[in-house]
Structure 1
Amino acid sequence: MVYGFWVSRSLQIMAELGIADTIGDEPKSVEELAQASGTHAPALRRMLRLLTGLGVLVKDEQSQRFGLTELGRMLQKDSPGSVYGSLRAHGHLLSWQAWGDLVSSLKTGQPSVEKFMGDSFFGYMSKHPEDAAIFNGSMAAYQSLNAPAVVGAYDFSTAKSVVDVGGGTGTLLAHILQSHPNLRGALFELPHVKAEATARLSNLGMASRSEVLEGNFFEKIPSGYDIYILSQILHDWDDERSLKILTNVREAMHPGAKLLIVETVLPGDNVSHFGNLYDMAMLVLVGGQERTGTEYTALLEKAGLRIHRVLPTYMPPSVVEVVPA
């Protein structure tokens, strides 16, 4: 555990330098990889040796060339199950600065990254499109894995309409609509996301069964849908702002409507769980938090909602089905 960040940093740099994509299907020599990545060949060779020991790369002793293992292919940008986006996002300087100043968050309860950004996480990203593209790429890749897990865990067949609140460019919504041909869907997002989301849904053949609605979930959420989805939204915010979102959803819901919260539900203390790590990431980056089932119950009660059931998926997040109290 002490040396774990040495490994993660090596993988992050491998993604940043595009080494996996440079190798592709044809093993490459150290010299070829160094030239393509602008690195010092002898130094790069030492990192490649580390990565062969980790099972990411494999070296052919006869040709002295390095190729990708099945695990290593996950570092390519467009490979199935790619972790490229995640490595780029968490390898970003601002992420490292935030974690390096974790003690600041522990003392203040506020995101340490704001000291280096000079703004909130989302405020900074809105003004720095290149940085935002790195983090958005990570979220899009994650949703491509998360969407099938959600559809596999929850039966949407009894609904006629669904709206994904804060659903990004529509990855989850598109997957739901593709799996349920009789369902109509809407994406509710900020205005600057509309063009990309509309194009994405159209390219996936969902234009006739979907629409992109503009708005802010802190202000008002559209009414009239059978299912409302908040996927990876509430963990970005503290209880006060999460309660505002949930209250707006409750006001939009008709009596028979349901809310699906797609989030990691922490199991509590004395349990090793991925969500505990992500909870700390929410602390240092955005000031949000992952929550236990008990914490969700208390938060939802304040908004006039209650948990009907919690459905686990094969990904870390669960589908929390919520109904009016």
Structure 2
Amino acid sequence: MKNQTNQPSPAVIMQIGSGFWASKILLAAVNFELFTHLARKESMSAREIKDLLKLNCTDRHLFDFLDALFCFGFLKRDGFLETAQYSNSLDTGTFLDKEKTSYMGGMLEMMNNRLYGFWGNLEEGLKTGLVQNEAKNGGEPIFESLYKDPKLLKGFVNAMTGIQIGNFMALAQKFDFSKYKTFLDVGGSAGILSTMVAKYNSNMSCTTFDLPAVEAMANETIQKFEVSAQVKAVSGDFFTDSFPKADVITMGNILHDWNEENKLMLMQKAYDALPDGGVFIAIESVIDNERKQNVFGLMMSLNMLIETADGFDYTFDDFNKWAKQIGFKSTSSLGLTGPTSAVIAYK
């Protein structure tokens, strides 16, 4: 974000510097499930909201909270102060109502419950190069902790589903699957990507592949979307097990968790499991090659510092270099939604 005038102004400095205020207002609303409650009732007064959420702040501070959400565009407002009726905006009604399949608030829930506090240690992470999450000070690495704690794991899986469901739907519709028959999603979590590919491509037989702890969640997704004839969940460890063979192999928000050595190892395992003419697809917040546009990708890469220490997000040029090093014949990039792209390597 740049100052577009020739005169000095503190506006952008203050906007970014106080950004955590705005962030926490939205995260608190998600944590309260405010948008879900509003979707059920269509509109509510401040008093009704206060009573429903059991808030003990002053009326003035409640108005400040709701009107800030209105100013940000997350709420609509009819009336003023005591007479105001609040309702969801189009975006919040679509993406932050927990009762809709389009709900993407899982990532925001994880940001509120975990990442918000950890990001307060960004300076320490940059100084030391060490993780700043639950693994700090000798704790277990994040993925070991997640897969041992059902509550943490569910929150993480919901977060990954929330941040990626729009991109998975976009890939399922934008990529030409007509030339292929079998599909494997490595690190498939709750099975959403396999489900979306099956839903939009009746020719595809899909497998979602992840650790045993998430198999039940994946099967629940498969049943929910009624695609059991096309999709199956298979348990395995993508570090220690060979990948099942498939024409198309994907990884959604997997490569960025790891250092370059492990990125190459995972891409090599995908290459080995593909037939000639097969396709490997990574879905990430791919940073633009000039590193001046996709700020979300840069921030996500810093989040990998917080979470894993040596994981990082990357550019298409990085991906292209790794793909050629492994032996893929060509690469391409496909924009999905927002800051997310699919980078594609053809064997």
Query: Does the 8 Å contact 1:152/1:313 carry over to 2?
Result: no
Deviations 1:49-85 (A, max 9, x none): 2222222221423733333232442432234654422
Residue aligned with 1:40, SS = coil
Unpaired runs of 5+ in structure 2? 1-15
Alignment partner for residue 13 of structure 1, among 21, 28, 39? 28
CA distance in 2: counterparts of 1:277 and 1:12, whole angstroms: 18
**2:201 paired with 1:180:** yes
Task: Give the TM-score of the pair, scaled to structure 2.
Answer: 0.85
Shift in CA distance, 122/10, structure 1 to aligned 2, threshold 3 Å: same
CA distance in 1: counterparts of 2:214 and 2:111, whole angstroms: 23
Alignment partner for residue 279 of structure 1, among 301, 314, 326? 301
CA distance in 2: counterparts of 1:70 and 1:14, whole angstroms: 16
CA distance in 2: counterparts of 1:84 and 1:190, whole angstroms: 24
Q: Which residue of 2 aligns with 1:32?
A: 48
CA distance in 2: counterparts of 1:305 and 1:142, whole angstroms: 29
Shift in CA distance, 108/243, structure 1 to aligned 2, threshold 3 Å: farther
Q: CA deviation at 1:109?
A: 2.3
Shift in CA distance, 306/263, structure 1 to aligned 2, threshold 3 Å: farther
Instruction: Give me the identity figure in percent.
Output: 24
Q: Which residue of 2 aligns with 1:300?
A: 323
Alignment of 1:79-90 (within 5 A): 79=100, 81-90=102-111
Instruction: Tell which deviates more after alignment, 103-112 or 162-171.
Output: 103-112
Alignment partner for residue 246 of structure 1, among 267, 281, 284? 267
Residue aligned with 1:185, SS = strand
Q: CA deviation at 1:215?
A: 1.0
CA distance in 2: counterparts of 1:317 and 1:45, whole angstroms: 35
Query: Does the 8 Å contact 2:172/2:201 carry over to 1?
Result: no
CA distance in 2: counterparts of 1:80 and 1:189, whole angstroms: 22
CA distance in 1: counterparts of 2:92 and 2:185, whole angstroms: 33
Q: CA deviation at 1:192?
A: 1.6
Residue aligned with 2:17, SS = coil
Instruction: Tell which deviates more after alignment, 152-161 or 302-311.
Output: 302-311
CA distance in 1: counterparts of 2:30 and 2:255, whole angstroms: 29
**2:139 paired with 1:118:** yes
Query: Does the 8 Å contact 1:188/1:213 carry over to 2?
Result: yes
Alignment of 1:75-114 (within 5 A): 75-79=96-100, 81-92=102-113, 94-113=114-133, 114=135
Task: Give the TM-score of the pair, scaled to structure 1.
Answer: 0.90
Residue aligned with 1:260, SS = strand
Shift in CA distance, 200/270, structure 1 to aligned 2, threshold 3 Å: closer
Query: Does the 8 Å contact 2:166/2:337 carry over to 1?
Result: no
Q: CA deviation at 1:218?
A: 0.7
Q: Which residue of 2 aligns with 1:63?
A: 83
Q: Which residue of 2 aligns with 1:53?
A: 71
Q: CA deviation at 1:185?
A: 1.4
Shift in CA distance, 69/256, structure 1 to aligned 2, threshold 3 Å: closer
Shift in CA distance, 225/194, structure 1 to aligned 2, threshold 3 Å: same
One-letter identity of the residue aligned with 1:4: G
Q: Which residue of 1 aligns with 2:248?
A: 227
Instruction: Tell which deviates more after alignment, 225-234 or 103-112.
Output: 103-112
One-letter identity of the residue aligned with 1:12: L
One-letter identity of the residue aligned with 2:346: V
Aligned residues: 323
Deviations 1:301-322 (A, max 9, x none): 4433354222222342222221
One-letter identity of the residue aligned with 1:5: F
